[in-house]
Homo-oligomer: A and B are copies of this chain.
Amino acid sequence: MTKQDLIEIPKPLDQLTATELERKSCIGKVMTYTLKSLTNTYVNKGFQWLLPVALSQSTDPLWPDPGASIEKRIEVDIYGKPVRTTASMIIHKLIAASTAYPKLFILSPNIRIEKGERAKTGRHLYEFTQLDFEAQGACSKDIFALVEEAIVTLIKDLKREMKSELTTLCRCDTLKVPKTPFKIYDRVELEAKYGKDWEAVITSEITEPVWVTNIPREFYDFEDFKTGKWDNYDLFLPQFGEVLSGAKREYEYTKILTKIERDQVKKENYSLILKMAKESRLKPTAGAGIGMERLVGWIAGVKHIAECQPFPRVPGNVNEL
C-alpha cells in the first residue's frame, strides 16, 4: 500500500457529515485568518492590491518546468480573438510592476488542468489560488525576508488567536513558529546528494520551511549566462513540497529573446513583454507566488489540499459546483 492509497479525495460540501462539516468550517476559519493576515502584511508594506484576470491572450507558458503535468491548455475565442485561461499572472505582473504598480500583489486564481493521475498526491489541484506578488528593484534576499516575516507573523498570530480551531485540527502542539532565517539549499547540491527525486526527498525529510535556489525553468526567471546559475527560488514545506515559486526576473531584451527561442516557446504570445524589454521599459523586479491551499493545508494539517477548498478541484474529479 503506497502513501497515496491512504489519501481520500475530499468530498463536495453537500456530501459531508456533521463532523466533517465542523472540520471544514475550522479549515475555512484558518483560511480566512491567513488571507486577512497576508493581505494586511502586504498592504502595510506598501504593496498595491490588484484584482486578477481570467482570460488573456498571453499567459504563463509553464515551460520548461520540471514539475509540469498539464493535460490540457484551455483556449477560447472572445470577440474574434483567442484567449487562454490564466495559468499564472507572471507576465501581467512584470508589465504592471514596470509601470503603474512598482509593488503589487494579486490573489490570483490559476487554472492548470493537471493529469488525473495526480488526484491522490494530496498536493495538486486543477484550480488553485496564488498570492502572487512582485516588487521593482527587489532582489532574492528581499523576497526571502518579506516571505519569512509574513509567514512567521501569520503563524505566531494564528497560534494565539485560533487556539480552538487548531485544537480541533490537532495542530495546536505540532504547528511550530518556524525559525528564521529559513535554511537555503542549492538545487545542484540536492541533486548531487539525492538524485533527480530531490524534491520528494526533501519534502518528506524537512520539518520546517526551507528555500531551494538555482532551478532551471521558464524564460522569465533570471539566469546568469556565464555561470549557468539561476537567481530563483522555491519555498518547500514539510509534506506539501513547493508552496512558493519565485525569482529575480529577466528584463534585458536579448536575454529574454534568446531564452524564448531556446525554449521553443511561442514568441507571438509574448510580443508585449519583448516590446517593453526592447524599449528598455521593462524594469528589474523580483517576486513570487504563494499557493494558498498548500500554505493553509500545511497549517491545518490536511491530507489533501483540496480540503482547503469549499469546492474541491481535484485533478480528474469534476463536481457540479
In-complex Cβ contact of A321 among B78, B92, B113 (8 A): B92
Interface SS majority for chain A: mixed
A259 to chain B, nearest CB (A): 19
Across-interface contacts of A96 in B (CB, < 8 A)? 13, 310-311
Question: Are A36 and B51 interface neighbours, CB within 8 A?
Answer: no
Find the residue from A96, A276, A309, A321 having the highest chain B CB count within 10 A. A321
Q: How many residues of A contact B (CB 8 A)?
A: 68
Residue interface mask A17-32, B partner, CB < 8 A = 1 = 0000100110011011
A320 to B54 Cα, complex, angstroms: 13
A79 to B316 Cα, complex, angstroms: 5
How many identical subunits does the complex contain? 2
Which positions 44-94 of chain A face chain B at CB distance < 8 Å?
47-58, 72, 74, 76, 78-79, 81, 83, 85, 91-92
Q: A: which residues have CB within 8 A of B?
A: 13-14, 16, 21, 24-25, 28-29, 31-32, 35-36, 39-40, 43, 47-58, 72, 74, 76, 78-79, 81, 83, 85, 91-92, 95-96, 99-101, 107, 109, 111, 113, 116, 126-127, 129, 271-272, 275-276, 281, 292-293, 309-311, 313, 315-321
